[in-house]
Amino acid sequence: MNDAKTTAEALPRPWAAWASIAARLALGAVLVVAGAGKAAAPTEDFAAVIEAYAILPVGLTLPVAAALPWAELLIGYALLGGFMTRWAAAAAAGLFSAFVLGMASTLARGISLHNCGCWGFNWHVPVPVSISLDIVLAGAAVWLRLKGRPMFSLDRWVTEGS
Amino acid sequence: MYNIAMLPSSRVSRWAASAAGVLAASVLSVAVARGHYKPYAADAPPYRQLGGAAAKVQIVEYSDFQCPACSAAHKSVKQVLSVYGEKTRVTFKHFPLEKAHPFARAAAVAAECAGRQGKFWDYHDVLFERQKEWVPRHEEGKPAPSEKAPAEWFAAYAAQLRLDKAAFAACLADPAANAAVDADLEEGKNLPVGATPTFFVAGKRFVGGRQLSTLGTLWIDKKLKNP
């Protein structure tokens, strides 16, 4: 009995592996689409969106506007490929949490954002909807960081060579 | 021919290959999404240019009369013109974002028609300063029954500025006025202009009134010292 229980506990749970892949694809796709759209557009456009949040000093908006889309892209592709998955998931959780805090702070301060800059420049959704989506995505990223499995991933290839 | 021996054999080389793949995919995505930028022409009808004829710094503004950020930036443009006077020249280009602002094109055409009678800047000022008056407050962008339609406001502003009523009406129906807006719009899309207002100050891009009045003025100072 004891042996059987131990074996069952040691076996990887298939649903967790498939859920990891689903989480990686969903998080990765969102970050790649949002990041590519913003990185391809003029940096000043995204800087103007960041300015509307009234959080960063003017001198920092352009550097952040230049770096953030590339961070989204790199984290997104890392998740899609399953490369350094746990670190990428932690970074994604940090990004989505920061977006949630940023948008919530504008609501608290009565700032009306015409474009939250969340999903690239071609898809504008109301701020409360964006906050809800970001909370779900942050949750998925945290789960992937803590419980994710490396099936069909570059991490597996790097460690096992197959 | 594919050869399994070509795959990285050590853990470090597999890690490096994976990192390179992630980086290459990111760069490729941006290159594909970006496409090709095209150069812009700073020309516009003389009635849409304001400031010194021999100004050292040219400012080209792509703007939308129904956009709240453009209305707010209008103050920054006026401030730049008042501070730098004849040293700067502003050229206005129409960039109506029609999906978000259904009356922006009509406003642009009306301003264009005012321009033909030599009152572009007066009409431009009225449209921005009284934006809340002529933009319908109704949620779907349609005027509520009690509200005046934007076209009625445009006619009223033309009357206030003593424009020739018949010539103004004829111009509104003239395809050439719409074509002038289309030409600016097409030019802006090629740059690309992704948000309004976008300013090109001596060729450098600034988006929004805040960028113009902070980083933009520093840039103007620099260009005036070292043209």
Q: Judging by beta carbons within 10 Å of its beta carbon (0-12, 13-18, 19+), is residue B19 exposed, middle or buried?
A: middle
State how far residue B132 is from chain A, nearest Cα, in angstroms: 16
Question: What range does the domain containing B214 cover?
Answer: 46-225
Give the one of B11, B35, B194 whose C-beta lies nearest to A42's C-beta: B194
C-alpha distance from residue A129 to each of A26, A104, A126 (Å): 17, 11, 5
Do the domain assignments include residue B23?
no
B124: domain CATH number?
Answer: 3.40.30.10
Q: What is the DSSP letter of A116?
A: -
Give the one of B14, B33, B205 whose C-beta lies nearest to A36's C-beta: B33
Q: Residue B62 carries which side chain, given as an amino acid letter?
A: Y
Q: B29–A73: do the CB atoms touch at under 8 Å?
A: yes
Q: Which residues of B touch A42 (CB under 8 A)?
A: 192, 194, 198, 205, 207
* Minimum Cα–Cα distance from B33: chain A residue: A40
Do the domain assignments include residue A27?
yes
DSSP chain B: ---GGGS--SHHHHHHHHHHHHHHHHHHHHHHHH-----------GGGEEE-TT-SEEEEEEE-TT-HHHHHHHHHHHHHHHHHGGGEEEEEEE---TTT-TTHHHHHHHHHHHHHTT-HHHHHHHHHHTHHHHS--STTSSPPTTSPPHHHHHHHHHHHTT--HHHHHHHHT-HHHHHHHHHHHHHHHHTT--SSSEEEETTEEEEHHHHIIIIIHHHHHHHHH--
Do the domain assignments include residue A68?
yes
Do the domain assignments include residue A47?
yes
Report the DSSP beta bridge partners of residue B15.
Answer: none
pTM equals 0.78
Separation CA B95–CA A91 (nearest Å):
38
Residue range B119-146: average pLDDT?
81
Do B133 and B78 touch, CB atoms closer than 8 A? Answer: no
The interface pTM score, or ipTM, of the predicted complex is: 0.79
Residue that has been written with the tokens 């050292």 in this structure: B56
Do the domain assignments include residue B31?
no
Do the domain assignments include residue B147?
yes
Q: Please check whether residue A152 touches B, CB under 8 A.
A: no
Q: B210–A48: do the CB atoms touch at under 8 Å?
A: yes
pLDDT for the residue B142: 60
pLDDT digits (tens, 9 = 90+) for A31-68: 999 999 899 888 998 999 999 899 999 889 999 999 99
Q: How confident is the model at residue A116 (pLDDT cuts 50, 70, 90)?
A: confident
Q: Which residues of A touch B15 (CB under 8 A)?
A: 158
Q: Please check whether residue B9 touches A, CB under 8 A.
A: yes
pLDDT for the residue B141: 54
**Whole-angstrom distance between the N-terminal and C-terminal Cα of chain B?**
58
Do the domain assignments include residue B19?
no
Separation CA A77–CA B22 (nearest Å):
6
Separation CA B205–CA B60 (nearest Å):
9
Q: A48–B207: do the CB atoms touch at under 8 Å?
A: yes
Q: Which of A38, A43, A73 to mutate to test the interface with B (most CBs of B within 10 A)?
A: A73
* B32 or A79, which is more confident: A79
Do the domain assignments include residue A35?
yes
Do B71 and B110 touch, CB atoms closer than 8 A? Answer: no
Do the domain assignments include residue A45?
yes
Do A39 and A70 touch, CB atoms closer than 8 A? Answer: yes
* Minimum Cα–Cα distance from A122: chain B residue: B194
Q: At what angle do helices A14-40 and A127-147 cross, to 10 degrees?
A: 130
CB-CB neighbours of B124 under 10 Å: 22
Strands B57-63, B88-94: pairing is parallel
Give the one of A36, A51, A78 whose C-beta lies nearest to B29's C-beta: A36
Q: How many angstroms from the chain centroid is the CA of residue B18?
A: 42
Domain total for chain A?
1
Separation CA B205–CA B87 (nearest Å):
19
Do B134 and B127 touch, CB atoms closer than 8 A? Answer: yes
Do the domain assignments include residue A9?
no
pLDDT for the residue B93: 96
Q: B210–A73: do the CB atoms touch at under 8 Å?
A: no
pLDDT for the residue A160: 84
Angle at B204 between CA B202 and CA B205, to 5 degrees: 130
Domain total for chain B?
1
Q: Which of A49, A55, A37, A122 is nearest to B196 (CA)?
A: A49
pLDDT for the residue B192: 85
Do the domain assignments include residue A12?
no
pLDDT digits (tens, 9 = 90+) for B18-63: 999 999 999 999 988 877 666 556 678 999 999 988 899 999 999 9
Do the domain assignments include residue B104?
yes
